C-alpha cells in the first residue's frame, strides 16, 4: 500500500501541496538524438517530496543518463493513491494503458490482468531475472498462465508508538493483548493525550488496519480468505472493538483522509498509528529514537499467534502491451534495472520501503537502515504468520461502500452486527 507524506516540519495540509500529474523528470538529462530515442511513460504515485519518490527519481535519472541515446523514461506523478489507481483502470479500459505503472494487487479484482492490454513478462523472464523473485510471489501474481505483474513491494503494517507520550502517561511498554491496549488508551486519554490516529475517507487505511488486526485476533489469519463470509462472529467482534476504538481518536477522524490522520501522529498530536514503513521518511530524523514499532495485540486465545502481522498487498509493477518489439524490449530492460539488487537496496535503505525482490543485506547495511526500518525488516522476518489488509481483498463494490459503513459505525448509526452484514452484502 503506497502512501505519501510531507516532512514533519511542514504543518500545511499535504494534499494541498501535491499537484497531480506533475512531472518528476530531470530535464537536464537530454538525449543526443531525441528523435531516435524510445520514450517510456511511467505513471507513479511516489512524489519527490518523499524518500521513496526521491530514490526512484534518482534511479530513473541514472538510467536515462546511461541510455541517453536509446531510451528515456518520463515520469508522471499522481500522489493521490486511490485516485491514481482509478486513473490506471480508466486508462486500461480506454486502451491507453501507461507504459509502466504500479498498483495494489487484489485477487478479487483482476480486471487489469484480464484486460488483454498488459505486457506478458513470461517470455522475457530468463533464469537470472527470475531468480530475483520468490517463487511463491511469481505464482501468486500469475493469472491465466501469464505474468503481467512483477512482484516488487509487500510491506508489513505495524503499530508505531510515540515513546515520549507513552512515558508522559507512565506507560512502560507496548501492550501485547487487546485488554492491555485499551487500558493504555484510557491512560493516555486521562493524561490529555489522544491515543491513536484513525480516518474514514478514501480506503480508511489506518482504521481498516485496526479492523484487520482485530478480526485476525478474533478468528485467525484466514479470516478474510477469498469466498469467506464477512458476516461472522469474528467480524462482529472486530467491529465492536473498533467502535470502542473510535472513542480514542481525534475529533476530525470522521471524514479524515490519510494526510490528516498521518499528520496528527507526525506532529505529536496522537500517540499511535498503524502504518507501513513509508511513514518513517516523514518522521523527524533527529527524533527517530522517540518512536517504537510493534506487532499488534492478540486476544490471548490462540486464534492468532503472538507476533503475527498484517501486510499490505502486493504492489507490483505492470506494463502496457507494446505494438513495437523495440519498445517492448526497452520496457523489459528498464524493469530489469528497476528490480536489480542495486536498485532494490537503494529503495530499501534510502527509500525506506520493503520489497519483494531478493537482496543480501549485510549487518552494516541493516544497521545503517535505522532502528525503525530495521524493526520492520526483523518483525517481518520473524512473524509466525501474516494476512493481507482487508481493503486489499474486498471487491470494488465493498471498497466503495466502506467509508460510509465506517462512518455509520463511528456515529453509532450502525450496530457492529449491521456493519458486518452490510459489508458482507456489498462484497457479494
Cα–Cα distance for residue pair 213/389, rounded to 1 Å? 8
Q: What is the pLDDT of residues 42-70, one digit of tens each?
A: 999 999 988 899 999 999 999 999 999 99
Same domain for 134 and 234: no
Same domain for 138 and 169: no
Helix axes 205-219, 233-245, angle to 10 degrees: 140
| 321 vs 278, more confident | 321
207 occurs within a structural domain: yes
Q: What is the pLDDT of residues 121-136, one digit of tens each?
A: 999 999 999 999 988 7
88 occurs within a structural domain: yes
344 occurs within a structural domain: yes
Closest CA relative to residue 308, chosen from 206, 211, 221, 391: 221
For the chain, what is the domain count?
Answer: 2
User: Mind giving me the DSSP string for 374-392?
Assistant: HHHHHHHHH-S-EEE-GGG
Q: Give me 29's grid cell.
A: 538529462
Strand partners, 208: none
Cα–Cα distance for residue pair 175/245, rounded to 1 Å? 15
First to last CA, the chain: 24
Cα–Cα distance for residue pair 336/99, rounded to 1 Å? 15
Same domain for 382 and 233: yes
Q: How many CA atoms lie within 13 A of 165 on its CB side?
A: 28
Average pLDDT over residues 89-105: 94
Residues in Cβ contact with 220 at an 8 Å cutoff, skipping those fewer than 6 apart: 303, 304
Query: Global pTM?
Result: 0.72
Same domain for 288 and 241: yes
- Which single residue is written with the C-alpha cell 504500479? 102
Q: What is the pLDDT of residues 358-412, one digit of tens each?
A: 877 777 776 666 677 778 878 887 889 888 899 988 988 999 999 999 999 999 9
pLDDT band at 4, cuts 50/70/90?
Answer: very low
Closest CA relative to residue 418, chosen from 291, 234, 231, 263: 231
Residues in Cβ contact with 94 at an 8 Å cutoff, skipping those fewer than 6 apart: none
pLDDT band at 82, cuts 50/70/90?
Answer: confident
Burial of 192 (C-beta count, 10 Å sphere; 0-12/13-18/19+): exposed
Average pLDDT over residues 206-223: 96
8 occurs within a structural domain: no
Same domain for 129 and 258: no
Same domain for 296 and 379: yes
Do residues 156 and 376 lie in contact, with contact meaning Cβ atoms separated by under 8 Å? yes
- Which single residue is written with the C-alpha cell 501492550? 175
Q: Give me 336's grid cell.
A: 530489469
Do residues 133 and 151 lie in contact, with contact meaning Cβ atoms separated by under 8 Å? yes
Task: State the pLDDT at residue 369.
Answer: 62
Residues in Cβ contact with 363 at an 8 Å cutoff, skipping those fewer than 6 apart: none
Task: State the pLDDT at residue 358.
Answer: 82
- Which single residue is written with the C-alpha cell 520489497? 355
Query: 11 pLDDT exceeds 60?
Result: no
Collapsing DSSP states into helix, strand and coil, what is residue 154? Answer: coil
Same domain for 126 and 61: yes
Task: State the pLDDT at residue 26.
Answer: 43
Q: Give me 170's grid cell.
A: 507512565
Burial of 170 (C-beta count, 10 Å sphere; 0-12/13-18/19+): exposed
Q: Checking phi first, is residue 229 left (phi over 0); if not, alpha (psi -120 to 50) or beta?
A: beta
Give the least confident one: 22-31, 237-246, 311-320, 321-330.
22-31
Average pLDDT over residues 90-119: 93
Closest CA relative to residue 129, chosen from 113, 153, 151: 151
Give the helix/strand (H/E) hosting 144.
none
Cα–Cα distance for residue pair 82/78, rounded to 1 Å? 10
Closest CA relative to residue 78, chosen from 2, 151, 155, 148: 2
Same domain for 284 and 321: no
Same domain for 196 and 174: yes
Q: What is the pLDDT of residues 138-184, one digit of tens each?
A: 988 999 999 999 999 888 899 999 999 999 999 999 999 999 999 99
Distances (CA, A) of 175 to 45, 48, 191, 239, 299: 34, 36, 18, 20, 11
Closest CA relative to residue 171, chosen from 191, 154, 151, 153: 191
Closest CA relative to residue 63, chosen from 342, 252, 337: 337
Cα–Cα distance for residue pair 342/329, rounded to 1 Å? 21
Cα–Cα distance for residue pair 162/272, rounded to 1 Å? 6
Give the least confident one: 180-184, 242-246, 283-287.
283-287
7 occurs within a structural domain: no
Same domain for 271 and 204: yes
What count of residues does the chain have? Answer: 428
365 occurs within a structural domain: no
Task: State the pLDDT at residue 17.
Answer: 33
1 occurs within a structural domain: no
Same domain for 194 and 136: no
Task: State the pLDDT at residue 104.
Answer: 87
Q: What is the pLDDT of residues 310-364, one digit of tens each?
A: 988 888 999 999 999 999 999 999 999 999 999 999 998 888 888 888 877 777 7
Q: Give me 393's grid cell.
A: 481483498
- Which residues constitute the domain of residue 170? 156-311+370-426
Q: What is the CATH number of the domain that holds 238?
A: 3.40.190.10
Q: For the chain, give the mean pLDDT.
A: 88
91 occurs within a structural domain: yes
Distance, CA of 217 to chain centre = 21
Same domain for 380 and 231: yes
Amino acid at each position: 500500500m503506497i502512501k505519501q507524506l510531507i516532512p514533519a516540519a511542514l504543518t500545511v495540509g499535504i494534499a494541498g501541496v501535491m499537484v497531480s500529474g506533475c512531472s518528476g523528470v530531470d530535464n537536464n538529462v537530454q538525449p543526443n538524438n531525441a528523435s531516435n530515442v524510445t520514450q517510456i511513460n511511467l505513471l507513479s504515485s511516489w512524489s519527490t517530496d518523499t524518500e521513496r519518490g526521491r530514490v526512484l527519481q534518482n534511479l530513473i535519472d541514472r538510467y536515462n543518463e546511461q541510455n541517453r541515446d536509446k531510451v528515456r523514461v518520463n515520469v508522471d506523478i499522481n500522489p493521490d493513491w486511490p485516485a491514481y489507481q482509478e486513473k490506471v483502470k480508466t486508462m486500461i479500459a480506454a486502451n491507453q494503458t501507461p507504459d509502466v505503472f504500479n498498483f495494489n494487487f487484489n485477487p478479487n479484482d483482476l480486471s487489469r490482468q484480464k484486460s488483454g492490454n498488459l505486457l506478458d513478462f513470461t517470455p522475457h523472464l530468463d533464469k537470472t531475472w527470475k531468480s530475483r523473485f520468490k517463487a511463491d510471489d511469481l505464482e501468486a501474481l500469475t493469472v491465466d498462465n501469464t505474468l503481467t505483474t512483477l512482484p516488487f513491494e509487500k510491506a508489513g503494517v505495524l503499530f508505531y508508538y510515540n515513546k515520549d507520550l507513552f512515558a508522559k502517561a507512565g506507560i512502560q511498554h507496548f501492550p501485547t493483548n487487546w485488554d492491555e491496549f485499551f487500558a493504555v488508551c484510557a491512560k493516555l486519554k486521562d493524561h490529555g493525550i489522544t491515543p491513536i490516529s484513525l480516518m474514514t475517507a478514501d480506503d480508511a487505511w489506518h482504521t481498516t488496519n485496526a479492523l484487520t488486526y482485530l478480526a485476525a485476533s478474533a478468528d485467525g489469519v484466514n479470516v478474510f480468505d477469498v469466498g469467506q463470509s464477512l458476516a461472522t462472529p469474528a467480524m462482529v467482534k472486530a467491529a465492536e472493538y473498533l467502535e470502542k476504538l473510535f472513542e480514542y481518536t481525534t475529533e476530525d477522524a470522521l471524514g479524515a483522509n490519510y494526510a490528516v490522520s498521518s499528520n496528527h501522529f507526525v506532529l505529536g498530536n496522537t500517540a499511535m498509528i498503524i502504518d507501513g514503513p513509508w511513514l518513517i521518511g516523514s518522521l523527524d530524523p533527529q527524533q527517530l529514537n522517540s518512536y517504537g514499532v510493534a506487532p499488534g495485540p492478540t486476544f490471548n486465545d490462540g486464534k492468532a499467534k503472538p507476533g503475527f502481522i498484517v501486510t499490505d498487498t502486493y504492489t507490483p509493477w505492470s506494463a502496457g502491451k507494446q505494438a513495437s518489439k523495440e519498445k517492448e524490449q526497452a520496457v523489459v530492460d528498464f524493469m530489469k534495472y528497476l528490480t536489480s539488487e542495486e536498485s532494490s537496496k537503494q529503495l530499501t535503505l534510502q527509500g525506506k520501503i520493503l520489497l519483494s525482490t531478493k537482496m543480501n543485506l549485510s549487518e552494516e547495511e541493516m544497521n545503517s537502515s535505522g532502528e525503525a526500518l530495521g524493526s520492520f525488516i526483523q518483525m517481518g522476518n520473524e512473524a509466525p504468520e501474516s494476512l493481507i489488509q482487508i481493503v486489499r481483498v474486498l471487491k470494488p463494490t465493498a471498497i466503495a461502500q466502506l467509508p460510509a459503513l465506517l462512518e455509520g459505525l463511528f456515529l453509532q448509526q450502525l450496530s457492529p452486527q449491521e456493519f458486518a452484514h452490510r459489508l458482507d452484502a456489498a462484497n457479494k
